[in-house]
Amino acid sequence: MELVNGLHFKNIRGDLFGGITAAVVALPLALAFGVSSGAGASAGLYSAILVGFFAALFGGTPSQISGPTGPMTVVVATVFSSLVAGNPDKIPIAFTVILLGGVFQILFGLLKLGKYITLMPYTVISGFMSGIGVIIILLQVGPFLGHPASANVIESVNQFSYFFTNTNPAAAILGILTLAIVFGSPAKLNRFIPSPLLALIVGTLVAIYFFPNSDLRLIGDIPSGLPSLNLPVFDAEQRRSIIGYGFMLAVLGSIDSLLTSLVADNITHTSHDSDRELIGQGIGNLIAGLFGGLPGAGATMRTVINVKTGGKTPISGMVHALVLLGVVLGAGGLTKNIPHAVLAGILIKVGIDIIDWSFLKRAHQISLKTTGLMYLVLLLTVFVDLITAVAVGIFFANLLTVKNLSDIQTEQIKAITNPEDDMDLSMAEKHILKQAQGKILLFSLSGPMSFGAAKTISQRMGIVSEFDVLILDLSNVPLLGVTASLAIENMVKDACDKNRQVFLVGATGKVRRRLEKMKLLRLLSPNHCFDERLFALQDAIAYIESSKDKG
C-alpha cells in the first residue's frame, strides 16, 4: 500500500495550478463558513488548512479538496449554540466534539464501513442535501440584511419580520451586489477570478469607500500566525450531547466526503478508496479539533475546480492548504474589513447550489411516494435535526423497498397442482401432474427469498390441503433468508407430520448450506433430493401409483 494514495510528481504543474485555484475559491468560503458557524472566520481558515492538508495526505481520493462545507457548518453552528450557548469558557467543548467526530471517522475507516455509508437511497440524500441548502439560506437572511447571525432556523424564521422592517440599507445593498456578482459573472471571467472571490473583493471595497460609517458588521481582525493547541475538554453533564454531536459530525462528514469522492471518480475516471478516505478525513478533523478549526469534508465545487484546472494527485490538496496557510501567516489583516453581508450573499449562493433542483422538479413525475419521502426528509432536516431526518428517511425508504421486493417475490412463489397453472412446465412435467390428479403439490420458488416472502410462503401452503407428495423446487433461488428458511422449515415439518412425502429440487450453493445449517435436510430421505424437477415428479408419481396398489 502506498504511503500517500495516488502520489506522483508527473503532474506537478497541473497540481500546483489546481491547488492554487482551489485555494482562491476556498478563501471566501472558509471565511464565510467560519463566521456563519459562530466560531469566527479564523476557524474556517484553520479548517481549510488542516483538514485540506491532512485529508489530502492520508485520504483515498487523490484529487479531492477538503475543507469546511455547508452541511458540516450547519451542524457545528448547532453545537456552538447548544453546548457553548454564549459562554466562552465552554468553547473548548465544541472543539472536542469536532475532534471526537474525527475519531469516529477513523474508526469507520478502520472497520471498513466506507462501502456502506453511501448505500443510501437517492431520495433521502436529495431531501437531506436540499434541506441543508434551505437551512443555509434561512440562517443568512439576518446577516444579509445587517443583523447578527443565528444558529437556530426556527429562531431565525421567527425574526424575519423584524429583519425586513429594520433592514440596514448598506448591508442589503452589499448583499444584493454580492448575489449579482456570484450569479452574473461571465464564465470567461470566472476562469481568471472565481465569482465568490470577486464578490468578496468588490463588496469589501464598496463597503470601505461608499459606506464607511454605515454601522456594518465586519469580520474584524483575525489572528495571524499558527493556531494554538486546544486540548479536549469533557463535561460530565453534557457527555451524551458531546458524543451524539461527534457521531453526527462523523456520519455527515463521511457521507459528504464519499459523495464528493464519487463525483471525483466520475470526472477523473478513477476509483477512490472509501475506507482510506474516511481515515484521512478523520485525521484532518481530529487535528482541526485540536487547533481550533471547523470540521471539514470533501468539498464538491472545490474538487471539481481542482480537477478542471489540472489537479490530479494529493499534491494539489496540500498546495491548496499551504496557500491558505500563507494567507493566515501574512495577509490576515486584509480580511478585517469584509462585511458579514457579503459573506451572507456568498453563502446564500452556496445554499441555492446545494438544493437538488433537478430532482425537486421531476420527483412527482417519478413517484408520489418518492416525492413524499423526499419532502419529509427535507422538512425534518430543516425543522428538527439532521440525524433524525436521515434515520427516518432511511427507515421509510427501506420499508418501501422491502414492500416492493416482497411484491416481486410474491409473484415468484407458485403452488401448482393443476398442470395448466404454469406455462413454464415441460410437456412431460404437465403430463405427470395431470396424471397425479392433484395428489402432487409442486411448490416453486424463484429469485432471492427474503423475510418479505415468508408470509406468502405460509399463505400459499395454507390454501392447498389435499396432496400426498410435496415437491419443493428451489432451482431458481440464489439466496434464502433466515425468515424464509424458517417458513420453508415449517412447511416441511407440517407435511412430514401428516405423513406426506417431501421431495427437494435444485438446492445448491448458499441455499443448500443454509438448509444444512438449519438441519432441514435431516427431515428428508437422502433419495428425496434431486437436481432436476422432472426426476422428482417421476419419483412422486411412482410413489402415488405404488400407494394405490398397496391400498
Residues 324-333: tens digit of each pLDDT? 998 888 766 6
pLDDT of res. 376: 93
Using a 10 angstrom Cβ sphere, with 0-12 exposed, 13-18 middle and 19 or more buried, the burial of residue 142 is buried
Mean pLDDT of 386-391: 79
Residues 228-264: tens digit of each pLDDT? 888 888 777 788 889 999 998 999 899 889 888 988 8
pLDDT of res. 509: 87
The three grid cell numbers given for residue 242, joined into one nine-digit string: 458531546
- Please tell me the pTM assigned to this model: 0.76
What percentage of the chain exceeds 90 in pLDDT?
29
d(CA 130, CA 374): 9
pLDDT of res. 270: 86
d(CA 245, CA 54): 22
Question: Which of 22-36, 159-173, 478-492, 504-518: highest mean pLDDT?
Answer: 159-173
Distances (CA, A) of 436 to 463, 467, 494, 548: 18, 10, 21, 11
pLDDT of res. 423: 59
Question: What type of residue sits at position 337?
Answer: N
426 has a pLDDT exceeding 80: yes
Mean pLDDT of 39-60: 93
Phi, psi of 331 (to 5 degrees): -130, 20
- DSSP conformation letters of 118-168: T-S-HHHHHHHHHHHHHHHHHHHHHHHTTS---S-HHHHHHTHHHHHHT--
Mean pLDDT of 113-125: 81
What percentage of the chain exceeds 70 in pLDDT?
96
Question: What type of residue sits at position 261?
Answer: S
d(CA 64, CA 265): 10
pLDDT of res. 461: 64
Question: What is the set of domains in the chain, with CATH numbers?
Answer: 12-356+367-400 (no CATH), 412-550 (3.30.750.24)
d(CA 109, CA 112): 5
205 has a pLDDT exceeding 90: yes
Using a 10 angstrom Cβ sphere, with 0-12 exposed, 13-18 middle and 19 or more buried, the burial of residue 46 is buried
d(CA 436, CA 442): 11
pLDDT tier for residue 117 given thresholds of 50, 70 and 90: confident
345 within 8 A of 178, measured Cβ to Cβ? yes
The three grid cell numbers given for residue 123, joined into one nine-digit string: 431520495
pLDDT tier for residue 54 given thresholds of 50, 70 and 90: very high
pLDDT tier for residue 123 given thresholds of 50, 70 and 90: confident
Mean pLDDT of 89-114: 93
Judged by phi (left if over 0) then psi (alpha if -120 to 50, else beta), residue 442 lies in: beta
pLDDT tier for residue 179 given thresholds of 50, 70 and 90: very high
pLDDT tier for residue 380 given thresholds of 50, 70 and 90: very high
Question: What type of residue sits at position 326?
Answer: G
Closest by CA position to 139, among listed 74, 91, 55, 198: 74
Report the chain's terminal Cα–Cα distance, integer Å. Answer: 74
Residues 296-319: tens digit of each pLDDT? 999 887 888 888 878 899 999 999
Distances (CA, A) of 293 to 94, 437, 477: 10, 78, 53
d(CA 355, CA 118): 19
d(CA 124, CA 120): 7
pLDDT of res. 215: 85
Cα dihedral angle (537, 542, 545, 546), rounded to 10 degrees?
Answer: -140
Phi, psi of 463 (to 5 degrees): -85, -5
Phi, psi of 344 (to 5 degrees): -65, -40
The three grid cell numbers given for residue 209, joined into one nine-digit string: 469607500
pLDDT of res. 141: 93
| Strand order across the beta sheet in which 501-505 lies | 414-416, 440-446, 469-476, 501-505, 529-530
pLDDT tier for residue 168 given thresholds of 50, 70 and 90: very high
pLDDT of res. 230: 83
d(CA 170, CA 197): 20
The three grid cell numbers given for residue 184, joined into one nine-digit string: 452574473
pLDDT of res. 2: 64
pLDDT of res. 63: 92
pLDDT of res. 391: 83
**Residue 40 CA, distance from chain mean position:** 28
Residues 528-550: tens digit of each pLDDT? 888 888 898 899 888 888 877 66
d(CA 80, CA 75): 9
Lowest-confidence region among 73-87, 97-111, 275-289: 73-87
51 within 8 A of 285, measured Cβ to Cβ? yes
As a whole number, the mean pLDDT across the chain is 86
Angle at 263 between CA 260 and CA 267, to 5 degrees: 140
* Residue 534: how many other CB atoms lie within 10 Å: 14
**Residue 244 CA, distance from chain mean position:** 18
Residues 439-498: tens digit of each pLDDT? 888 888 888 877 777 777 777 666 556 788 888 898 888 888 888 888 888 888 888 888
pLDDT of res. 237: 79
pLDDT of res. 401: 81
